[in-house]
């Protein structure tokens, strides 16, 4: 993305294993079942599902998700989130499971949500790929 050095990038913040939520001092977020359930309950309110910082766009997203996507028994990937409002919407509209990929570590306690950092996601992918390659070689 640096156009062969034409554009300079300055890293002014280390995003490894920090979870901002308004403060760089927080090391992780905690998602309890009750916390997720509150977001899911809010999805039933047709008048307002406004969530900071997205405002009215959350209602638009909720309506589009409800009206155009069949989530029944699907496994959904959410990339980047500070608050689990998208995860809650997906569960509310029938997703069997949601995996969230987020830079900061999230301590998740909801049985239908899995959270991973990019490092964990990459490590799992590489392990599965390596195992698949070994299985393919053994089958020859």
Tell me the pLDDT tens digit for each residue of 9-53.
Answer: 555 455 544 445 444 444 568 999 999 999 898 888 776 677 777
In this structure, is residue 1 part of a structural domain? no
Whether residue 1 is predicted with pLDDT greater than 70 in this model: the reply is no
State pLDDT tens for residues 77-112. Answer: 999 887 899 999 999 999 999 999 998 899 999 999
Q: Considering the domain boundaries, does residue 93 fall inside one?
A: yes
Query: What pLDDT was estimated at residue 112?
Result: 98
Residue 111 buriedness (CB in 10 A; 0-12 / 13-18 / 19+): exposed
Residue 116: pLDDT over 60: yes
CA angle 101, 115, 103 (to 5 degrees): 45
- Helix (H) or strand (E) segment spanning residue 132: helix 118-138
Domain around 100: 29-134
Per-residue model confidence as pLDDT tens digits over 52-64: 777 788 888 898 9
Higher pLDDT pick, 140 / 41:
41
Asked, for residue 3, whether it belongs to a domain, the answer is no
pTM: 0.72
E strand or H helix that includes residue 31: strand 29-31
Residues with Cβ within 8 Å of 81's Cβ and at least 6 positions away in sequence, in order, are 87, 100, 102
* Total domains present in the chain: 1
Write the CB contacts of 110 (distance below 8 Å, at least 6 apart in sequence). 31, 32, 33, 36
| Residue 42 domain flag | yes
Q: Does the residue 5 lie in any domain?
A: no
CATH number at residue 71: 3.50.50
Q: Is 17 inside a domain boundary?
A: no
- Which pLDDT does position 25 carry in this prediction? 46
DSSP-derived 3-state class of residue 35 = helix
């Amino acid at each position: 993305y640096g156009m062969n050095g034409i554009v300079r990038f300055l890293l002014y913040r280390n995003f490894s294993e920090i979870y901002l939520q308004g403060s760089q001092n927080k090391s992780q977020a905690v998602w309890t079942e009750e916390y997720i359930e509150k977001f899911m309950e809010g999805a039933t309110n047709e008048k307002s599902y406004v969530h900071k910082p997205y405002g009215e766009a959350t209602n638009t997203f909720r309506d589009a998700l409800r009206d155009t996507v069949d989530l029944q028994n699907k496994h959904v990937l959410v990339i980047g989130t500070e608050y689990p409002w998208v995860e809650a919407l997906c569960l509310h509209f029938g997703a069997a499971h949601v995996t969230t990929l987020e830079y900061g570590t999230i301590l998740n306690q909801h049985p239908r949500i899995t959270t991973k950092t990019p490092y964990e996601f990459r490590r799992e992918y590489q392990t599965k790929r390596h195992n698949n390659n070994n299985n393919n070689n053994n089958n020859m």
